[in-house]
Amino acid sequence: MRTAILLGTALLLSGCGASKGLAPPKGQALPPAPYGATARPTPAELLKPSNQERPERSDELLKSSEDRRSDEFDLPPPN
């Protein structure tokens, strides 16, 4: 019985996702334009992550790999 209730709850909650594009509620406008911007951003522009939110990888490990020089301080532990 408990599993049936959990399964039913999971089935009901799985239908809660938005299937349409996002839009502001009726009677309300989008947020105001940021300071210094000439135009108000669209919903698609607001949802697109910036470079600061999703940075690209700046180093390519396989292309710029080099042999490491020996480390004279990398000694085995004393016995």
Q: Predicted confidence band at 40 (pLDDT cuts at 50, 70, 90)?
A: confident
Higher pLDDT, residue 11 or 64: 11
Q: Distance between alpha carbon 33 and the CA centroid of its chain, in Å?
A: 23
At 64 the pLDDT is 61
For the full predicted model, state whether its pTM sits above 0.75: no
> What would the pLDDT profile of 47-66 be if each residue is shown by its tens digit?
888 878 887 776 666 666 67
> What would the pLDDT profile of 12-31 be if each residue is shown by its tens digit?
777 666 566 667 788 888 78
- Which DSSP helix (H) or strand (E) runs through 43? helix 43-47
Q: Cβ distance 18 to 43 under 8 Å?
A: no
Which of 59, 30, 62 has its CA nearest to residue 47? 30
